[in-house]
Structure 1
Amino acid sequence: MPHPVLLLGAVRRAAYGEFALARIAAAHPVVLAGAAPPGWALPYLAGHIVADPGHGPATAEAVARHAARYGICGVLTWTRGHLPAAARIAARLGLPRIPEETARACADPAALRSLLARRAIAPAGRDDTEGPLVSAETVVLDDEVRIAALTRTTPGPPPARQPLRHVVHAHDGLLHNPFLRHTVERTVRALGLAHTVVHIGLRLTARGPRVTDVVPHLPGDLIPLLVERATGVDLARAAAALATGGLPAVAPTRQRAAAIQFAYPAATGRLTRLDLDPAVAHEPSAERMVLTRQAGDEVTAAWHAGPADRLAHWVAEGEDPPECARALHRMANYLDVAVGSLRPQAA
């Protein structure tokens, strides 16, 4: 049996995590180090190390003991806060990793802005509130930096500005923008990133691209699914290959578009109804439509919502972004939502 990869930290909810975990498990056995895994993840796991990733030294010892007995060929995490621990564990095991200073900075937005500024990379400032939001889904192969795809994000209302929609298009014209590519490459070099998949957030301002975030692990919000559906590039398998010292296949095999839409509550209160019309299964462009809350839950209106307040999401595929947008609009009609006041429920 081949040696497993270590996944540090509890995996995401099935709605957002199953796609990536299934892809990784198809290529490598996966051992989770963290709290008890949720039931949906069990079929994809080859083992479990009981540990608290927030307690770095104790977790490193537990992982080292497991590695001495069974072997570990790579370390992954999907959690920003666990990046420093993942870097330390990989260093202890002599496996590919990002620098610990970079890991610590990427786990702290303020520290990241400071580090980028010290290394002559222009981070987005408080005044950079206008301009499109994009992210470069980047694969770093030793010294080669490849932008596998660009994700365009539509933010929701302030002050929360949670993402309403992400779109990936294999023929996005920004892929050929020299200023954007230069910013991505300089960011990767400045942070010493290698052998990793990295999600680099950018705001396209009148002064040029400004870095909003650097996430040196698989992006969330099902962005890996969108990239795979639009370009054929499997970011999850690429991340696993890079973590184990391999070279992934990152040449595009599709020339399409894919998009995801998130539904947030229109009011703060308690969900009294959240239903999905099964007729959505007959929508030709629909890839999936998933409810992520249930009647009885307390939710917060979109203006102040967080990711946990999302009611549902749906994914559409098409030849280009306008086709995806039309499909997302049609699919929204299959969702039936009602929110009531937060009166105490009867015993």
Structure 2
Amino acid sequence: MTTDGLVLVVGSGIRAYREYLLASAAQRRPVWLLDAVEPTWQHDYAQGATVVELLDPKRLLPDQDLLVKTAVDLAAEHRIEGVFTYDETLVVTTAHIAEALGLRGLGVSGAEHCRNKQYTRERLTAAGILQPRFSYVTTDADARAAADEFGYPVVFKPRGMGASIGVVFVGGPGEVADAFAMSDLSSHGGNPLYQGGVLVEEYLTGPEISVDGATFDGEYRPFFVGRKRLGPEPYFEEVGHVVSADDPLLTDPGLVDMLAAAHRALGIRDGVTHTEVKLTDRGPAIVEVNGRLGGDLIPYLGRLATGIDPAHVAVDIATGVRPTLEPTLRRSVGIRFSYPEHDGRVLGVTLPAARPGLLEAAAMVQPGAELRLPPEGYLSRYAYVICAADTAEGCEAALDAASAGTAVTLEAL
């Protein structure tokens, strides 16, 4: 038996969106990777890797028994000090691993209460926490009845998808049948435990934010607030985010107290979460709570804006160390994703020239890639820009200017 003090990372994710997290985790503690494919770029960061099915190839179910057994076998050969994931589909499985090894984590029930949006709604309703009125339905007739009761507009969404996949704005009764069919169909692209049926939710008005927070020994604290920019209705794709180190919402008592109460209601013990919130005229209302760090490079923006490393926070909590959440930088950093105006096959991508405030610009597709806009496709981004400024307003202006310098050349599909 070795005594190398490893942290298990379950699933490495898509390189463009998650490499920075794996790299930072490896700086904090030695990392061993559980992944479905042989490592390539991951070799730069992992001490070792075990290739194992993360999802059952026949049923697309997380193969918890196999993954837990693999982790237990590894623990017989190495000293495992923590386990975490930043992959939405593996949150529950990772919680099972943590419990089997006696390690800190969200807890299986806490992970399930986050992963299944129906469970989230039920738990938060019982706790009296502000959120949309909702109903889980399995037919378009029941969807119509729920929508009529709540009053239009409403939102349809699957129970267990991420990245706003299958989330639809429904403006009136005539849109219900098509919206239900699209949202229900979208649910069949993920875990069968959450397939079929649709959550009908009251539409909340107001700006939307995201909050990455840490729970340690049951104590919740936010450390990044992201201000979102959403794409055109009827869909809810996120096309940009800005994180400011001095965002006043980080210390807003109403928001922070509500988030802490929500995490207690969901039974979250230890770990990082990404909570989406609408700032309504009735107060902050929870859209959803995800049992992992945010996507869309939001945690990366937070690191650039505040100096707080989100992977260090996740590793520290997983290994029983109270995380340091005090900023060492104070600026605003944002990202803007570029989408095509219509479906097409990529011939080439143009990026902006260097300019004040522009930190990064990158193409997200290669020539030959097919881009399809919702509802035929999702996350059809061809490029992104990241900008920094002293203020959020200055950051948005820099993002506008840099985005204007991006372009894509397409041929018809």
TM-score, length-scaled by structure 2: 0.78
| CA distance in structure 1 between the partners assigned to 2:250 and 2:77 by the alignment | 45
User: How is 1:107-186 mapped onto 2 (pairs within 5 angstroms)?
Assistant: 107-125=115-133, 126-186=201-261
User: How is 1:151-230 mapped onto 2 (pairs within 5 angstroms)?
Assistant: 151-230=226-305
- 1:71 aligned partner: 79
CA drift of 1:302 comes to 6.1
Q: How many residues matched?
A: 337
What amino acid maps onto 1:334 in structure 2?
A: G
- 2:68 aligned partner: 60
- 1:321 and 2:381 correspond: no
Q: SS at the partner of 1:91?
A: helix
What amino acid maps onto 1:65 in structure 2?
A: D
Identity of aligned residues (%): 31
CA drift of 1:37 comes to 4.4
Q: 1:341 to 1:129 in 2, by over 3 A?
A: farther
- 2:24 aligned partner: 23
Question: Where do 5+ consecutive residues of structure 1 fail to align?
Answer: 343-347
- 1:333 and 2:404 correspond: yes
- Contact 1:124–1:203 (8 Å) recurs in 2: no
Q: SS at the partner of 2:325?
A: coil
CA drift of 1:124 comes to 2.9
| CA distance in structure 1 between the partners assigned to 2:389 and 2:398 by the alignment | 8
- 1:345 aligned partner: none
- 1:90 aligned partner: 98
- 1:306 and 2:378 correspond: yes
What amino acid maps onto 2:290 in structure 1?
A: V
CA drift of 1:111 comes to 2.4
TM-score, length-scaled by structure 1: 0.92
What amino acid maps onto 1:8 in structure 2?
A: V
- 1:269 aligned partner: 344
CA drift of 1:157 comes to 0.8
Question: Which of 309, 313, 322 is equivalent to 1:238?
Answer: 313
- Contact 2:111–2:268 (8 Å) recurs in 1: no
Q: SS at the partner of 1:261?
A: strand
Residues 84-106 of structure 1: CA distance to partner in whole angstroms, max 9, x if unpaired? 11111111101001121121122
CA drift of 1:224 comes to 1.2
Question: Where do 5+ consecutive residues of structure 2 fail to align?
Answer: 55-61, 134-200
CA RMSD of aligned residues (A): 1.8
- Contact 1:74–1:96 (8 Å) recurs in 2: yes
What amino acid maps onto 1:160 in structure 2?
A: Y
Q: SS at the partner of 2:228?
A: strand
What amino acid maps onto 1:110 in structure 2?
A: Q
| CA distance in structure 2 between the partners assigned to 1:314 and 1:329 by the alignment | 10
Residues 219-263 of structure 1: CA distance to partner in whole angstroms, max 9, x if unpaired? 111111111111111111010010011122111111111101011
- 1:102 and 2:110 correspond: yes
CA drift of 1:109 comes to 1.8
Residues 142-186 of structure 1: CA distance to partner in whole angstroms, max 9, x if unpaired? 243221121110110122221111011122222343221121111
Give every structure 1 segment of 4 or more consecutive aligned residues whose post-TM-superposition deviation is greater than 6 Å: none
